[in-house]
Amino acid sequence: MSTNGSSDSGCTAEDSTTNSTCSPSELSVTASVVSMTGGILSNSLALFILVKSYHRIRLKSTASFVLFASGLVVTDLLGHLVNGSLVLFVYGSHRKWEAFDPGHVLCGFFGASLVFFGLSPLFLGGAMAVERCVGVTRPFLRSTAVAPRHVKRLLGLAWALAALVAGLPLVLWRPYQVQRSRSWCFFREEEPRDWLDVLLPLVFCTLGLLALLLSVVCNTLTSCALLQSRVRRRQGGGSGGGRGTSYHLEMILQLLAIMLVSCVCWGPLLIYVTVLTTRTRAEPSSLSLLLMVRIATWNQILDPWVYILLRKAVLRKLYLLLHAGTWSSDSSDGIHRRRQCTVLWGSVATRHSSARPNNFSCRGSLHLHLPDDTVKTIT
């Protein structure tokens, strides 16, 4: 969702075409281009990684999680393409909605697109958390009830529910409204006419917050179950986990990161719109609402980096880098001891042309067991 519009402080619809009085518009266009380009590249890279992972483990229990993750990344990618293109078109038309959209068709599509591509990642994140929770806590139920075909149906259901919420204002004749910055469209927040104008944004916010709450609860249960399993295995003398456990840990790390990103990016906007809608006086601050939307756009930029960075191969390399300092100091100490040992043995070999003693060792803390005459000779 790339809606980096500018505030309307000192910039109205009539003077928005002048560069001298509306220089923030150029900054907003640049920010939109950077956000759109970065989102497309990062989501494309994450999708490539996930497709490779799906083909490698498509017959294993983790295939359903990878399928969910691929659906989430595709949704974020399409969100950047569609919404970013609409934002650039609006700025390219100097935000004169009366000229290029007299029938409010584009505004309706723009608002529905923002709602759809905003709710879909939240629904998919909640579905992924539920799938992982069932897979860890009820593995036998998951093997029969969460087959790949069921995952595809759940993906379609999440997208359908998001599309239904996005299309409600159009069906109920409560069209999306151009916001005060004239760069994007959203629910009618200023001067609601009746209870429907209040209900529609509340439905949007309530479903989004419920999806976040579901993710938090399921990820907490999954993390607790994995920790208990690991503790039991260690107490039983096991190795602490096998390949399946490592896959579970990798996925729960990714889920926790997705949940954190969604809460930080979408939580402020959903809470702010809820407070704004239920408040009976004063009109909303367009600058504050726009700031919340800008924060929410980072969700689709940060999501793919969860799958790019929080992979087992990357985590292993990070672990090695963190311990490189300790290992390097230990290695330097070992090399120094071996050098001392080599010099000492060279002295022994020079004085005595006999074979190397059996108890001569250069390992550990350099304990050499040599005959007394040899020690006297070296001294």
Q: Chain-centre distance of CA 126, in angstroms?
A: 13
Rounded distance, CA 156 to CA 172, Å? Answer: 24
Tell me, what's the pLDDT at 26? 66
Say yes or no to pLDDT of 208 above 50: yes
304 falls in which pLDDT band (50, 70, 90)? Answer: confident
81 falls in which pLDDT band (50, 70, 90)? Answer: very high
Three-state DSSP state, 146: coil
Q: What is the pLDDT of residues 312-329, one digit of tens each?
A: 777 777 778 877 755 554
**Are the C-beta atoms of residues 303 and 73 closer than 8 Å to each other?**
yes
**Rounded mean pLDDT, 223-247:** 70
Look-up of token digits 């550990």 = 364
What percent of the chain is modeled with pLDDT above 90? Answer: 26
Q: What is the pLDDT of residues 13-65, one digit of tens each?
A: 334 444 444 455 666 778 778 888 888 898 898 888 888 877 666 545 567 77
φ and ψ of 290, to 5 deg? -65, -35
Tell me the two tokens of residue 228.
């208990």
Rounded distance, CA 97 to CA 30, Å? Answer: 21
132 falls in which pLDDT band (50, 70, 90)? Answer: confident
Tell me, what's the pLDDT at 116? 96
Three-state DSSP state, 19: coil
112 falls in which pLDDT band (50, 70, 90)? Answer: very high
Tell me, what's the pLDDT at 22? 46
Rounded distance, CA 217 to CA 126, Å? Answer: 10
**Are the C-beta atoms of residues 120 and 159 closer than 8 Å to each other?**
yes
Rounded distance, CA 208 to CA 18, Å? Answer: 39
Rounded distance, CA 213 to CA 83, Å? Answer: 27
**Are the C-beta atoms of residues 142 and 61 closer than 8 Å to each other?**
yes
Sign of CA dihedral 228, 233, 237, 240: negative
| DSSP β-bridge partners for residue 185 | 178
Rounded distance, CA 55 to CA 48, Å? Answer: 11
Between 180-184, 202-206, 230-234, the lowest mean confidence (pLDDT) is in 230-234
Say yes or no to pLDDT of 8 above 50: no
225 falls in which pLDDT band (50, 70, 90)? Answer: confident
214 falls in which pLDDT band (50, 70, 90)? Answer: very high
* Selected residue with higher pLDDT from 80 and 137: 80
Say yes or no to pLDDT of 364 above 80: no
Three-state DSSP state, 61: coil
**Whole-number mean pLDDT of the chain?**
76
Between 28-32, 88-92, 163-167, 192-196, the lowest mean confidence (pLDDT) is in 28-32
**Are the C-beta atoms of residues 303 and 76 closer than 8 Å to each other?**
yes
How far lies 203's CA from each of 197, 214, 289, in Å? 11, 16, 18
| DSSP β-bridge partners for residue 178 | 185
| DSSP β-bridge partners for residue 186 | 177
